[in-house]
Structure 1
Amino acid sequence: MNLFKISPAKEHVANSILRLQSLSYQVEAAVVGFPDPPTFEDNISSIMESGETFIGAYIEADLVGAISYKIEESYVDIYRLMVHPEHFRKGIGQSLLRSVIGIYPSKPSYVYTGSNNIPALNLYTSHGFHPTHEKEVTPGMFLTRLERPTSEVN
């Protein structure tokens, strides 16, 4: 597996990200018990215009994982972390998360994930993130905000 910074401004890259996101988030929706999460509203244009920085994980020519983030004032805001379901439990999510933490070790990081998504919560907490609060984004759909202080690179 190789990690590369990728450009969502290129249509074919945005299309690959959208396909990966759809597959990954379908599994997350089933895990958290929500059939149609808001992230399914994305399209190629919204990804191309997101302003997010993306890092992709590739096995040969296949995009099997991606993480996106923005630098906001003095912190890193992680927007998306997705892994192709055929590649779950292979350390791809950990590698992607470590790559962002490693790029910005002196900045705190923040992320939201489904409150019932135990695998994602475990991933983030194993990398020094701590839950701070929960919010209901639509009736019955809760997200947990996690933050990671600086200097703990795992």
Structure 2
Amino acid sequence: MLITGISPDTDPLGAELLALQHASYTVEAEIIDDDRIPPLHESLEELRAQPLLWLGATDEDDRLVGAVAWEETAGEVDLNRLVVHPSALRQGIGRALVKEVMARAAGRRVVVSTGRDNAPARRLYERLGFVAAGEVEVIPGLWLANYTYPGA
């Protein structure tokens, strides 16, 4: 697996990234029994309009199998998206991507949210040392669990 910087503005990578995002969030929608996850319905134009930094993970065939996106300020890194292709789940791809962003945070606080009922994602963040920071109902019936990884 190779992790490199990517951009949804690059063709054909943008379309590949969007397909990966939709496939990944389809799995989460099934886990949490709710398909109202905004990135699940995002268009390529909407994806490209997001002010996000991206890393992608490719397999030995140079196929995009995972990606992570974040926003950052001087004091905080906000993990906005973590997507892994359904055929590549439970292979350490998500963990490697999150760890790379944590390393790039360079001592800043890292925050992330996931579906409250997404047990696999919650386990991943907890195993990486993230601490539960509450839950929020973002739209009626759709709950997120918030996590924080304290900075240095």
Same fold (TM over 0.5): yes
Aligned partners of 1:9 and 1:49 also within 8 Å? no
Cα distance in 2 for partners of 1:40, 1:25 equals: 5
Cα distance in 1 for partners of 2:100, 2:20 equals: 19
Identity of aligned residues (%): 32
Cα distance in 1 for partners of 2:73, 2:3 equals: 23
Aligned partners of 2:114 and 2:146 also within 8 Å? yes
Q: CA RMSD in A?
A: 1.2
Question: What residue in structure 2 maps to residue 55 of structure 1?
Answer: 55
Question: What residue in structure 1 maps to residue 28 of structure 2?
Answer: 28
Q: CA deviation at 1:104?
A: 1.6
**DSSP 3-state at the match of 1:90:** coil
**DSSP 3-state at the match of 2:70:** strand
Question: What residue in structure 1 maps to residue 130 of structure 2?
Answer: 129
Q: CA deviation at 1:12?
A: 2.0
Q: Which ranges in structure 1 are unaligned for 5 or more consecutive residues?
A: none
Question: What residue in structure 1 maps to residue 18 of structure 2?
Answer: 18
- Cα deviation digits, residues 9-55 of structure 1 (max 9, x gap): 22422211110011110010110111332222311111112110100
Q: How many residues align?
A: 151
Q: CA deviation at 1:109?
A: 0.3
Bigger Cα displacement from structure 2, 59-68 vs 7-16: 7-16
Question: What residue in structure 1 maps to residue 41 of structure 2?
Answer: 41
Aligned partners of 1:18 and 1:47 also within 8 Å? yes
Cα distance in 1 for partners of 2:104, 2:10 equals: 23
Question: What residue in structure 1 maps to residue 67 of structure 2?
Answer: 66
- Cα deviation digits, residues 88-118 of structure 1 (max 9, x gap): 0100000000110111231110011000001
Alignment of 1:114-125 (within 5 A): 114-125=115-126
Q: Which ranges in structure 2 are unaligned for 5 or more consecutive residues?
A: none
**DSSP 3-state at the match of 2:5:** strand
Amino acid at match of 1:131: A
Q: CA deviation at 1:74?
A: 0.9
Cα distance in 2 for partners of 1:14, 1:51 equals: 14
Question: What residue in structure 2 maps to residue 3 of structure 1?
Answer: 3
Amino acid at match of 2:20: L
Aligned partners of 1:10 and 1:48 also within 8 Å? no
Cα distance in 1 for partners of 2:108, 2:38 equals: 28
Question: What residue in structure 1 maps to residue 105 of structure 2?
Answer: 104
Cα distance in 2 for partners of 1:130, 1:11 equals: 37
Cα distance in 2 for partners of 1:64, 1:96 equals: 11
Amino acid at match of 2:94: G
- Cα deviation digits, residues 37-96 of structure 1 (max 9, x gap): 222231111111211010000012210000000113410011000100000010000000
